[in-house]
């Protein structure tokens, strides 16, 4: 018997095997969870995104795999409806969705276009509200369900290169707190993981990512970077009854980087700092 034997849920936002959502999925699967999944809609007749995700989730017994554009309320509602049809009520939702147009992400925040800002905020922050709202309206969440989203320290403090996405993550983290308050009377918990840098598709769009890895390795108390599996294990725990008293929290999985107010004494003696 695993922690998730008999428990059912949705995982939104797997792009490929490097996705943090996939690392969480692997841990959920090992503990016995049954899951449905979404993928980015494909253009034309070539199911590129569908096939990429299907190669991962089919071998672990995916109950369904559907396209979902989070800018389309009908898509969101269709996914929630499918989950209700398949599972009855669901016990967890993993929300791992973020995007900003590259031109708006790579430049300074003051140069963000109006449409780029709206797109980034709609996909990266509002989508959590939209999914939670659809689940609430369809009574899709069990009485002890858990919702988990993924954020980053750039939503709390300025991280050069994170730019517009930092503003989106700040909104996402605030959404976690409001949802936790509003869904708490139903027994539903809502939390976020603030993960250190992991080489995902989204992360590679952030400027100077290799420098960021070196910085974390040099400053974090553990003097190393995290692995995707470490985030996956924490995500699994936050979705399980092990965290039944935790809601509205942003849990940092970053080897302690976020606690540091200044570099450690040995930072400037490290090879990366001298380079």
- Place 209 in a pLDDT band, splitting at 50, 70 and 90: confident
Could you read off the pLDDT of 219-241 as tens digits, one per residue?
999 999 999 999 999 999 999 99
What tokens were used for 62?
A: 């995916």
What's the farthest any 2 CA atoms get from each other in the chain? 59
- pLDDT recorded at residue 248: 98
Average pLDDT, the chain: 94
- pLDDT recorded at residue 148: 99
Could you read off the pLDDT of 147-177 as tens digits, one per residue?
999 999 999 999 988 999 999 999 999 999 9
| Residue tagged active-site, from 110, 126, 152, 178 | 152
- Is-catalytic flag, 162? yes
Task: For domain 8-274, say whether CATH 3.40.50.720 is its number.
Answer: yes
Q: In this structure, are residues 240 and 32 in contact, taking their beta carbons and an 8 Å threshold?
A: no
Please determine, for residue 210, whether its predicted confidence score (pLDDT) is greater than 90: no
Q: How far is CA 167 from CA 26, 98, 109, 152, 159, in A?
A: 30, 12, 9, 11, 11
- Is-catalytic flag, 178? no
Please determine, for residue 270, whether its predicted confidence score (pLDDT) is greater than 80: no
- pLDDT recorded at residue 275: 42
Please determine, for residue 272, whether its predicted confidence score (pLDDT) is greater than 90: no
Q: What is the distance between the alpha carbons of residues 89 and 108, in angstroms, rounded to a whole number? A: 43
Taking residues 243-248, report their average pLDDT: 98
- pLDDT recorded at residue 212: 82
| Residue tagged active-site, from 110, 126, 162, 178 | 162
- Place 274 in a pLDDT band, splitting at 50, 70 and 90: very low
């Amino acid at each position: 018997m695993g922690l998730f034997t008999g428990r059912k849920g949705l995982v939104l936002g797997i792009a490929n095997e490097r996705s943090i959502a996939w690392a969480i999925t692997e841990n959920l699967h090992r503990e016995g969870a049954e899951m449905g999944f979404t993928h980015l809609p494909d253009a034309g007749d070539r199911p590129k995104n569908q096939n990429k995700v299907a190669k991962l989730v089919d071998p672990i017994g995916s109950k369904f795999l559907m396209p979902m554009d989070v800018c389309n309320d009908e898509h969101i509602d269709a996914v929630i409806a499918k989950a209700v049809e398949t599972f009855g009520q669901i016990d967890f939702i993993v929300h791992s969705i973020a995007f900003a147009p590259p031109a708006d992400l790579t430049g300074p925040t003051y140069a963000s276009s109006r449409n780029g800002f709206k797109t980034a905020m709609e996909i990266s922050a509002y989508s959590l509200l939209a999914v939670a709202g659809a689940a609430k309206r369809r009574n899709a969440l069990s009485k002890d369900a858990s919702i988990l989203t993924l954020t980053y320290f750039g939503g709390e403090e300025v991280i050069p290169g994170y730019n517009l996405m930092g503003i989106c993550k700040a909104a996402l983290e605030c959404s976690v707190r409001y949802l936790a308050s509003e869904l708490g009377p139903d027994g539903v918990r809502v939390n976020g993981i603030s993960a250190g840098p992991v080489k995902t598709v989204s992360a590679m769009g952030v400027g100077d990512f290799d420098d960021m890895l070196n910085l974390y390795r040099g400053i974090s108390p553990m003097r190393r970077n995290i692995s995707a599996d470490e985030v996956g294990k924490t995500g699994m725990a936050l979705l399980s009854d092990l965290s039944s008293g935790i809601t509205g929290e942003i849990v940092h999985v970053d080897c302690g980087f976020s606690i540091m107010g200044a570099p450690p004494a040995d930072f400037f003696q490290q090879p990366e700092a001298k380079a």
